[in-house]
Structure 1
Amino acid sequence: MIRSHTPRLPKAIARAALLLAAIAASSFGLSHSAAAEGLVIGIAKLASAGPVFVAIDRGYFTEQGFEPVLKYFEAAQPIAVAAASGDIDVGATGLTAGFYNMAGQGVLKIVAGQSHEKPGYQSNAVIASLNGFNGGLKSLENLAGKSIGIAAVGSTTHYALGLIAEKYRIDLKAIRIVPLQTIPNMVSALRGGQIDGLVVPSTAAMPLLRDGQAKLLGYVGDETPWQIGAVFTSSKTALEKRDFVTRFITAYRKGARDFFEAFNGPSGKTVDGERAEGILAIVSKYTGQSPATLKDIIPYVDPDARLNVKDVVKQIRWYQAQGFIGPNVDPTVVFDMSQIVETPAP
């Protein structure tokens, strides 16, 4: 037998070598982790935040050097406040009068589009309580004289109700508008028969409809298409951390593209196939809604996160006409056009 003459390290030296290797690996891990930049994103647990969920789950923010953290809110307005105060870095939610007031004062900037109300998509619904339905609220044409719950004065649901009233030539003042502040409050008020109806995200409407606790009057997107949501940040961040914002949008757009391609086939909207199932599973994971429920309430998200700038200006003018925004607010100051990709004119 031929014995190997390869010298062996003494056990103490071998243990020291292993220890040094472990320390080196640990140090690499710490430095790698330290290199990741913190990113706090403010959203609501709604399907419209799907691109954010996808971008986190598939590592798109990590690819851009971020360590993303989600901060959940019950309504859109607090997200705008959090972005203005620096409690979050970026918000992605519906556009409200409160947001426009802060943006009009130079505090916030829109940097990309989020969800759109569009025919065939179920972002928000108008539903009637059983008491309201039995009392005559059987269609959108019957809104006059009824009590309709919304999230808040100047909210996306308030604006949607205004557009629907205008379409059906109903004086908005003839509708008893009831601000309920949060989605849980809205659902509770409808279940308790305290209101005749609601304008509410379909994420909350669908369980009520399936349980027979409400009647569907229509989807906002089918009635009055508009740019409901946007991605925004503080003006300070937009100005001083431009690369930060650009990298966020790059990752967000990848999530938006995946979301779009999962639900939009060559012949239109579809939620069939493995790709859709994968996205539904991701959104379900972050919202707590089942894939079966989410399948029926998919909002429209532009694959390039484009923004309908003209529609946003229209919204601001409507809020000004209602007295919710100062008449001297210049709509152009709410945009960071160096980041925005604008929706092309039809």
Structure 2
Amino acid sequence: MTKFNRRQTLGLIGAATAAGLSAPALASNRKIKVGALRFTSHSGSFIAFERGYFADAGLDVEFQFFQAAQPMAVAIASGDVDYAVTAISGGLISLADKGAIKVIGGALSEEKGIDGQKFLISDAAYQAGTKSLKDLDGKKYAVTQAGSSFHYMGAKMAEKEGISLSFTPLQKVGAIIGAMKSGQVDGWSIVPHIAKPLAKAGAWHIVGDVSDYLPDYQVTTVFTSADNAANEKALTKDFLSGFSRGVDDYAAAMIDGTASQDEMIDLIHKYVYTDRPREKAAPSIINGTMRLNKGAALNLASVQDQLSWFQSEGLVDKDITIDQLVDTSYVETIGG
């Protein structure tokens, strides 16, 4: 098994950008690090920790928080973090191609009937006559980087609309928000808790749902190092067991209405929008609610579509296979 230090892993990322759960091991008390972003969509891990589901699975969890997905992938590949959730990107696929990481389950998904990510048009473009996604033909569309999930979503929308977009990489979500507000870019897609408040304030206009163009899109995945996937099977199953119980509680409270939403908001607020008082954080937490896959089930057909698109764009090696990216032995898979 090839080992990667942090510098080597960062090199791989840069090159890519340029181009059934077991019963838990109750007494093991194994220390692991879990990577997370302070987003509602990472709540499965937060709930599993707060309600003792990781502890029940024999795990002593420490969170390591990140500002973006790419450094989290680096940390997994270099062994600094054990498990995490992130979107599929060109960088992530390259790390799998090099034998550094494996996708082992699914997390956030687009699902019809549940509020999801939005396509947006900047107010400046809208006032100038760009009223629909089709009107974005030839205009600037914001992405963090070439080979990001934003790039994939925009390209798939453009393909269905029969338009051409000028993809503009701005590196960070904050920079994209600023560019949308100032009219430097014309379109973008983002999660509802960011899209809806700023649309209400007039910063941009919501003109479509990502689910209309990418039904059942597997937005984020659970992943780990290839070494953990191959050689720490009991540990990996224990992590997925605890995580899945957290996801079940999240769905019951935030989607299905069979458990207390207020109690769940209190729990999530310990990790998300912590700089805001609870009454101001609650609407954004609610707006960020999307489907997290039960049992960490993985939509393999969606993952294959993403892999094929990255290959068609020359962003990853054309010879990498779905088996190099995904270990299907841990969870239920859909399609593929």
Q: TM-score, normalised by structure 1?
A: 0.82
Match of 2:316 in 1: 325
The Cα offsets for residues 167-220 of structure 1, whole Å up to 9 and x where unpaired, read as 2122xxx31111122222221222232211222232322331232212111221
For residue 278 of structure 1, what is the amino acid of its counterpart? E
Alignment of structure 1 residues 182-331 onto 2, 5 Å:
182-225=172-215, 226-265=217-256, 272=257, 274-288=259-273, 290-331=281-322
Maintained 8 Å contact 1:76/1:96: no
The Cα offsets for residues 17-65 of structure 1, whole Å up to 9 and x where unpaired, read as xxxxxxxxxxxxxxxxx97332211222222212112112211112222
For residue 95 of structure 1, what is the amino acid of its counterpart? I
For residue 180 of structure 1, what is the amino acid of its counterpart? L
Q: Report the more deviating stretch, 336-345 or 224-233.
A: 336-345
For residue 49 of structure 1, what is the amino acid of its counterpart? H
1:131 aligned to which of 124, 135, 145: 124
Work out the CA distance in 1 between the residues paired with 2:35 and 2:130: 36
Aligned length: 303
Work out the CA distance in 1 between the residues paired with 2:122 and 2:269: 27
Q: Does the alignment pair 1:37 with 2:22?
A: no
Q: CA deviation at 1:96?
A: 1.0
Q: CA deviation at 1:252?
A: 0.5
**Structure 1: stretches of 5+ with no match in the other structure:** 1-33, 266-271
Match of 1:22 in 2: none
Q: CA deviation at 1:85?
A: 1.0
Match of 2:89 in 1: 96
Work out the CA distance in 2 between the residues paired with 1:240 and 1:102: 18
For residue 145 of structure 1, what is the amino acid of its counterpart? G
Q: Does the alignment pair 1:160 with 2:116?
A: no
For residue 287 of structure 1, what is the amino acid of its counterpart? V
Match of 2:110 in 1: 117
The Cα offsets for residues 228-268 of structure 1, whole Å up to 9 and x where unpaired, read as 11100010121222211111000001011111222443xxx
For residue 191 of structure 2, what is the amino acid of its counterpart? P
For residue 317 of structure 1, what is the amino acid of its counterpart? S
Q: CA deviation at 1:87?
A: 1.8
Maintained 8 Å contact 2:301/2:335: no
Q: CA deviation at 1:277?
A: 2.5
Q: TM-score, normalised by structure 2?
A: 0.84
RMSD: 2.0
Q: CA deviation at 1:273?
A: 6.6
Q: CA deviation at 1:133?
A: 1.2
